[in-house]
Copies of this chain bind each other. A is one copy, B any other.
Amino acid sequence: MTTSILQGGLACPAPITTHDCVVIGHGSGGKLSARLIEEHFLPHFRGDALAQLGDASIVSAGGARLAVSTDTFVVSPLEFRGGNIGDLAVNGTVNDLAMMGAIPLYLTVGFILEEGLPFAVLDRVIASMAAAATAAGVQIIAGDTKVVERGKGDGLFINTTGIGMVNPDFRPAPDKVVPGDAVIVSGDIGVHGMTILAERDGIGFEADLGSDTASLHALVQVLREFTGGDVHALRDPTRGGVASTLNEIAKASGVGIELKEDALPIPPVVQGACEMLGLDPLYVANEGLLVAFVPAEVAGAALEAMHAHPLGRRAAVIGQAVREHPGMVVLRTGMGGTRIVDMLPGDQLPRIC
């Protein structure tokens, strides 16, 4: 694995300057994104559930407990090997609900179309959305379409907002992680992000890649069943990759997280492309991948069950939660060394989802 992005070393994170306007790094899912939320959104929404900082919440309505999640998709290009912005938008929000332990039920969709978008593209995107919704068993219940002038958008942006039912007996959450938990990923790391990058820049290794976009809630149900519901935390490591997700969980739970480099399922094509480009696969976005924290004693059963599911065939235990270095993620390298896996300050790959 290349470490170019982290070569500054443990004690020297990249500096974050103060901005008076939005820069592209504010959309990275990294430190700048967190600052955008903390400094500009939270001061106004202190009393709201939004103060939990998340793109998803659990709320009550008429006696029902609902999981609600919103996500906007600005991926470029709109179509790529393995998917397009349409199925990405459906699967992304379905997954956000699934990671809360909810059963996804309904989606709303909001489109911003740029003047000049070919209907041929729009039709393919809509067909993919419909197919992804059917596959995930969710209903698209409302839609809105706006059009902006040429040069004021980028073809097509899509917001999806999802509603799911929460099971009170199954509520994985980052702050439930405890030392000793095994860290499982459900499959290969870095595939979606490298697919987009390859498409965008025509780097030449496109043929061996294809987005992993998929709805993960069926896999979550398998995991739930075979662990007796004992799943402490679930997350889909999209923007910011596995590294950012694990950092968020470490901070939320106050545990340390230790990863074993040799255990990371990184396909050779992703590894090779990352090395060529000076990227770290741990920071590359995934769209059909989940990270699960489960008690060590059920990790074997969980892994076996996941291996039997099409989306979990390459699932692996990649590390564990530890008492040491609380709030930090540390990688044990194959050579026996360690390095800190920090949040990225800004952007590795913009507009990846």
Contact = CB atoms under 8 A, between A and B. Distances in A.
A26 to B, nearest CB: 5
Given A28-B147, A61-B105, 9 more contacts: A21-B117, A22-B113, A57-B141, A61-B61, A68-B142, A70-B144, A71-B110, A108-B161, A146-B351
A145 interface: yes
Interface residues of A, number: 83
Interface stretch (A118-126, A223-231, A256-264): A118-126
A203 B195 CA distance: 49
Chain multiplicity (copies): 2
Nearest to A37: B145
B123 A74 contact: no
B22 A115 contact: yes
Given A163-B61, A351-B148, A143 B112 contact: no
Nearest to A156: B22
Contact of A72 (B65, B111, B129): B111
Nearest to A351: B148
A252 interface: no
A217 to B, nearest CB: 16
B49 A141 contact: yes
Given A115-B23, A130-B45, A147-B27, A108 B68 contact: yes
